[in-house]
Structures are given as C-alpha cells and as structure tokens.
C-alpha cells in the first residue's frame, strides 16, 4: 500500500495545488472560447495556458510539453524529502500524445517518441532509474497511479513520481473535432443541455511512497488502498451503455466497503452524451446513488493524460477541508441513472473517496483512497508466472513457440497473408491501423496454442512499445497539415491512441481483463519483467498476454508476445 507524499497541479488556474484548489472554490474556470487558433478553421472552447503563463514556465531546450511536466515535478519536490537520484525512485509519465505537436508544421523542437521524452525529463532531474510512460487514453493517470502502487508494493522501488501531462495542439484538437464531440461553450457535466466536452492542458504530479506498517490516522496522508483496471470489450470509441467495465472496477475496489464509507465519488464526467449516461447507470447499479459526486471538467475541460491525476489531487485536497467541490456548469439532471450531484459545495466528513474513469479502447479504472490505518487486502496473491505459448512476428518472419511458419510475403502484405490464413472472417481487420492488425494476428497465433478451457478464461493484456502510434499519427497528420484542406477523419484519429490496439484485441476475443500499454525509450526487459510480474501478482485474471509490439512504419514492425499463467 502506498501514500501520497506531495502533489502539484500546474494549469491555467495556477502553478500549485493550493492555487488551483482555491480557484475552484472561488468558482473560476479556465475555459475560454477560441477562434482561428493556430490556423484551425473551427472555433472551440478549451483551457489553454496563455503566452504569459508559458513564458514563465518555458525552459530553454525543452518543448512546451516537457517544460510543463518538469515544472510540475519541480514544484512537488519542494513539499517532500526524497532522493530523486536514487535508482529506487521511479518516474511514471502519464500522457496520451506527449510531444506529438512537434510532428506538425510549426511544432516546437524535434519530435521525440514518448519514451525518449520521459527519459529527457528524467535526465533533467539526474534520475538514475529508467522512466515508464503510461499511454492508456483517458485512464492513463489512474493506470499510472496503479502502476506506482504495484511496483512499490512489490519492492521494486521506494518512491514513484507520477506526472500526468498533455498539451493542446492542432493534432489533438482536430481529432476531437472530427468526432463532433466538442462543445462550443463551457461543458456541462451530467446536465440535460450538455453538448460535449472541452479540451484542456495541464500537468499534475503525485509523489508516492510506501505506507508505514503502523499508519497514523493523524498523519493526514491519503493512502491508495485499492485499484482496478479492466476492459468492457464493447467498442473502441464508445462506452457500454450500462457500464459493465466501470461497474466491475467499482465492485472490485469496494469489496468489503459500502456506500456509507465514502465521502465522495470523483467521476470522469466528460459532459458527452454517452459517458455521463454510462457513469450514472454504473453508480446507480453499484449502490452509490446517494454518495455525492465530484466532476471537475467544467473548470479545466478534459486534460487527457493529466485528468486522472488532477482530479485525484483535487478530490483529496477538498476532502481534507471536509467538502465536495461544486459541479460547475450543472443545472438540471440529464442522465438516466440516479446520482447525487450539485452545483454547490457540500460537506464531506468521511475518510474514503472513490475515483472512477473510462476511456477510448474500452478501458476502465477505479481507485479507492483512504486515510488512517485501513487494513485493506489489495493483493490477489503471490504467483509465479508460467510461460504457456509465445509468438514472434517481424516484417520478414513468423515463429510460434520457437517454430518458424512458412510465409510468402513481407511487410504490410505479411499481416494480410496471416489474416487470410488464420482468421479470414473478421472484416474489421482492414479498417485497423498497422499496429492493431499486428496485435490481432499475433494474438490469434498465440491463442491457437491454448486449449478450449484456457481460451475461455479471462486474459489481461499488458504490452510495451517504443514508437507509440507513429504510423497512425502520420496518417492523421496528412489530413490536417494543410489548413486550407482540413479534413480530419475520426476513424484515422482513433488509432493515434496506441492503446486502441489492445482494445481491438479485447473486443475480438472478448477479454474483459486489464488492457494497459507502456512505452519505453527502448526494449528494457528487466523493467518489462518487473511490471509484468507486479501485474500478475495483483491481477484478477489467470492468464496474461504480454510482450513487445512496435510499428515504425507500415512495413517495419515487430511483435514478440507470450501468454503467461499463474502457477
């Protein structure tokens, strides 16, 4: 079990957690309407750091994204005493697109893949450990906190610095515009008149350390008691209408607890039609209808990879003062599930809160936080992984369990050949990006070695890569680079979230376990093995699909994945 040692939020509303918290209490919002921003032909409302704010934050030799993340970590370090240079201190960077803006004309600096970006940030602080990037769409911040808990609890590290950050760019903005999911005005979570979400940029940091054996209820530190990650295997860009994935995540972390224990449920609350409806139904079906909810998108918009971190920090800070923050923009209920929501501050005098979130790729997450010595069993049990089967696919060769498979083609044509030979009846394959196609055919070959009984069991999917979604990124960029011919496609943009490949596998094989993607600067097997082992120890699923999957171009790729099971 881990506890929060220090925090920071750096956003248009302030440079510290306290500045942001007081801004929210005052009812301030950073959401502003923009016209003609950086050549984007459509107007939108968003939360973006001003030129003056960025001038104060910017570091020479570092991009906007890197500067924002570094400044947030710097500020959090002022509030605790840790050795950041120790090999037992880990940086976990939570982001959806990191430095992607540098790919576009007018971007800042040279493009660095997310793993290289994290390494650059770590080197700024002279860190000696290798950083990890969590790239799990909207739930990245919650996944990052879960990973910190797993690795510290497993004894791999003593301290984990979780920094969630994303910046707004034409690249990201165009994608959400293509989905027609952006509200032209400030968003209104759960309201009957809600029109969609707003985007926001921020960096937020939580520094975690191991909880002491004898917790002191007077210490004032929040502990991460439990976490759960899972996939609803329903759709890569829409939540299940009744929220099975969110419901399952809630039930797992709340086992042994009741609604009466919770002071607040911090929801995702994107103000989109489907998300808010789903969350309301999930809250109702898990018996939490009477627990006050906190929804913060009306202040910041959706801060993407930072969202789960920003919202956890502010929920905890408000609970310290015995309050639930008001839901800005809400006036009249517009969802079918019963929820306890208000646009006024309310009292909160209970020592537990729940954070829930969901995102593209079908992923869902839940965190249970508490204060004091809560004797919570959050391990499923120690387990030694056993290798069941393995697959290796490169642009030129294929091997299953070490045995080569004869093929007649290479590159992109090889994936089509494998599809026709071993799948053949899943036409959606041709709509996918290269990495998703690679993930599907590699998993199919992997599962063919399983017995019927093994294949029927639940599987987690935890994969690693280096290049993120660079192939899909370049395809999306081609649709927006010429602002005079601006035609972003939602089907193209979707695959710029690299975790979508895992979501496609989950849907194809109806796997409802965890689906998490981690990005490294290169293939680092000791770190990958540590994350895999920690996942297995905490997992509810008996089977785990894990390994390396990387696409540098449509004709250059590599998948080396395996199925592990608990002995």
Question: pLDDT per residue over 84-94, tens digit each?
Answer: 999 999 999 99
Residue 151 sits in a domain of what CATH number? 3.40.47.10
Residue 226's pLDDT band (boundaries 50, 70, 90)? very high
Predicted local distance difference test score (pLDDT) of residue 567: 67
* DSSP-assigned letter for residue 396: S
Same domain, 391 and 342: no
Same domain, 407 and 356: no
Same domain, 469 and 357: no
Same domain, 358 and 490: no
Closest CA to 350 of 371, 331, 333, 329: 371
Q: Does residue 15 belong to any structural domain of this protein? A: yes
Phi/psi at 88 (nearest 5 deg)? Answer: -100, 15
CA atoms within 13 Å, Cβ hemisphere of 63: 27
Question: pLDDT per residue over 35-59, tens digit each?
Answer: 999 999 999 999 999 999 999 999 9
Per-chain mean pLDDT for the chain: 94
The pTM is what?
Answer: 0.97
Residue 299 contacts by C-beta under 8 Å, 6 or more apart in sequence? 13, 23, 24, 28, 29, 30, 31, 47, 328
Pick the residue with more confidence: 36 or 372?
36
Closest CA to 159 of 224, 89, 75, 223: 89
Q: Determine the structural domain holding residue 461 and report its residue range.
A: 385-566
Q: Which of 346, 371, 396 is the last residue of a domain?
A: 371
E strands, 362-484, in order: 363-371, 385-394, 398-400, 403-404, 459-465
398 SS3 class: strand
Q: Which of 371, 393, 409 is the last residue of a domain?
A: 371
Closest CA to 251 of 288, 217, 204: 288
Does residue 267 register a pLDDT over 80?
yes
Pick the residue with more confidence: 241 or 30?
30
Q: Does residue 378 belong to any structural domain of this protein? A: no
Predicted local distance difference test score (pLDDT) of residue 214: 57
Question: pLDDT per residue over 518-553, tens digit each?
Answer: 999 999 999 999 999 999 998 889 999 999 999 999
Distances (CA, A) of 106 to 103, 134, 348, 470: 9, 26, 47, 18
Predicted local distance difference test score (pLDDT) of residue 108: 56
Does residue 373 register a pLDDT over 80?
no
d(CA 543, CA 360): 23
d(CA 312, CA 373): 20
- Alpha helices per DSSP H over 457-518: 470-478, 490-493, 500-509
Does residue 28 register a pLDDT over 80?
yes
d(CA 452, CA 445): 14
* Residue in the structure block whose two tokens are 């290269």: 434
Secondary structure (DSSP) of 173-223:
HHHHHHTT-B-SS---TTBTT---B-EE-EEEEEEEEEPPSS--TTS--EE
Predicted local distance difference test score (pLDDT) of residue 158: 98
Q: Which two tokens stand for residue 562?
A: 């395996």
Same domain, 413 and 297: no
Beta bridge pairs of residue 7:
206
Q: Does residue 196 belong to any structural domain of this protein? A: yes
Residue 219's pLDDT band (boundaries 50, 70, 90)? low
CB 409 within 8 A of CB 419: no
Distances (CA, A) of 227 to 137, 183, 203, 348: 17, 31, 22, 22
Residue 170's pLDDT band (boundaries 50, 70, 90)? very high
Same domain, 409 and 334: no
369 SS3 class: strand
Residue 212's pLDDT band (boundaries 50, 70, 90)? confident
- Alpha helices per DSSP H over 31-139: 51-57, 64-77, 114-124
Burial call 397-425: b when 16+ CB within 10 Å, e when fewer: ebebeeeeeeeeeeebebbebbbeeeeee
Residue 430's pLDDT band (boundaries 50, 70, 90)? very high
Predicted local distance difference test score (pLDDT) of residue 106: 53
Distances (CA, A) of 55 to 98, 128, 226: 19, 29, 39
CB 365 within 8 A of CB 141: no
Residue 379's pLDDT band (boundaries 50, 70, 90)? low
Closest CA to 505 of 565, 447, 466, 552: 447
Secondary structure (DSSP) of 556-567:
EEEEEEEEEEE-
Same domain, 267 and 312: yes
Predicted local distance difference test score (pLDDT) of residue 202: 98
Residue 435's pLDDT band (boundaries 50, 70, 90)? very high
The percent of residues above 70 in pLDDT, for the chain, comes to 96
- Alpha helices per DSSP H over 347-451: 412-422, 434-447
Same domain, 355 and 440: no
* Residue in the structure block whose two tokens are 């609803």: 232
Q: Does residue 13 belong to any structural domain of this protein? A: yes
Same domain, 485 and 342: no
Predicted local distance difference test score (pLDDT) of residue 331: 97
Same domain, 128 and 195: yes
Same domain, 366 and 390: no
Q: Does residue 531 belong to any structural domain of this protein? A: yes
Question: pLDDT per residue over 460-498, tens digit each?
Answer: 999 999 999 999 999 999 999 888 888 999 999 999 999
Does residue 449 register a pLDDT over 80?
yes
d(CA 164, CA 214): 30
Same domain, 349 and 431: no
Does residue 105 register a pLDDT over 70?
no
* Residue in the structure block whose two tokens are 């202040």: 299
């Amino acid at each position: 079990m881990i506890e929060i040692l220090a925090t920071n939020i750096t956003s248009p509303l302030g440079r510290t957690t306290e500045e942001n918290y007081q801004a929210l209490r005052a009812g301030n919002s950073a959401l502003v309407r923009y016209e003609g921003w950086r050549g984007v032909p459509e107007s939108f409302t968003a939360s973006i750091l001003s030129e003056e704010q960025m001038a104060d934050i910017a570091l020479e030799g570092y991009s906007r994204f890197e500067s924002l993340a570094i400044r947030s970590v710097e500020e959090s370090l002022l509030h605790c005493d840790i050795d950041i240079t120790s090999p037992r201190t880990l940086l976990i960077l939570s982001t959806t697109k990191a430095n992607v803006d540098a790919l576009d004309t007018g971007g800042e600096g040279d493009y660095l893949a997310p793993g290289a970006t994290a390494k650059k940030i770590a080197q700024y602080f002279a860190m000696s450990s290798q950083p990890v990037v969590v790239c799990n769409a909207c739930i990245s911040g919650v996944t990052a906190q879960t990973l910190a808990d797993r690795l510290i609890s497993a004894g791999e590290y003593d301290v984990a610095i979780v920094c969630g950050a994303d910046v707004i760019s034409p690249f990201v903005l165009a994608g959400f515009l293509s989905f027609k999911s952006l509200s032209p005005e400030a968003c209104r979570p759960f309201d009957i008149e809600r029109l969609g979400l707003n985007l926001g940029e921020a960096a937020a940091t939580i520094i975690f350390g191991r909880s002491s054996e004898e917790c002191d209820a007077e210490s004032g530190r929040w502990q991460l008691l439990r976490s759960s990650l899972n996939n609803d295997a329903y759709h890569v860009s829409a939540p299940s209408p009744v929220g099975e994935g969110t419901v399952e995540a809630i039930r797992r972390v709340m086992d042994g607890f009741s609604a009466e224990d919770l002071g607040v449920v911090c929801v995702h609350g994107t103000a989109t039609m489907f998300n808010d409806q789903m969350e309301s139904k999930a809250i109702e079906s898990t018996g939490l209808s009477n627990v006050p909810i906190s929804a913060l998108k009306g202040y910041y918009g959706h801060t993407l990879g930072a969202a789960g971190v920003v919202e956890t920090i502010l929920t905890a800070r408000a609970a310290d003062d015995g309050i639930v923050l008001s839901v800005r923009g809400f006036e009249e209920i517009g969802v079918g599930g019963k929820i306890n929501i208000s646009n006024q501050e309310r009292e909160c005098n209970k020592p537990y809160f729940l954070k829930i979130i969901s995102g593209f790729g079908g992923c869902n997450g839940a965190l249970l936080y508490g204060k004091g010595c809560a004797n919570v069993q959050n391990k499923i049990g120690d387990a030694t992984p056993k290798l069941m089967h393995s697959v290796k696919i490169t642009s030129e060769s294929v091997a299953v369990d070490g045995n080569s498979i004869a093929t007649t083609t290479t590159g992109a044509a090889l994936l089509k050949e494998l599809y026709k030979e071993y799948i053949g009846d899943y036409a959606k394959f041709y709509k996918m990006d290269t990495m998703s196609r690679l993930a599907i055919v590699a998993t199919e070959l992997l599962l063919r070695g399983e017995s019927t009984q093994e294949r029927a069991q639940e599987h987690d999917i935890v994969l690693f890569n280096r290049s993120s979604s660079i192939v899909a990124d370049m395809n999306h960029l081609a649709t927006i680079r010429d602002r005079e011919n601006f035609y972003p496609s939602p089907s193209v943009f979707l695959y710029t979230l690299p975790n979508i490949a895992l979501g496609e596998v989950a849907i194809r094989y109806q796997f409802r376990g965890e689906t998490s993607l981690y990005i490294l600067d290169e293939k680092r097997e000791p770190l990958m093995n540590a994350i895999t082992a920690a996942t297995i120890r905490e997992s509810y699923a008996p089977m785990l699909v894990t390994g390396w999957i990387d696409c540098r171009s449509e004709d250059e790729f590599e998948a080396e994945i395996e199925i592990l099971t608990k002995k």
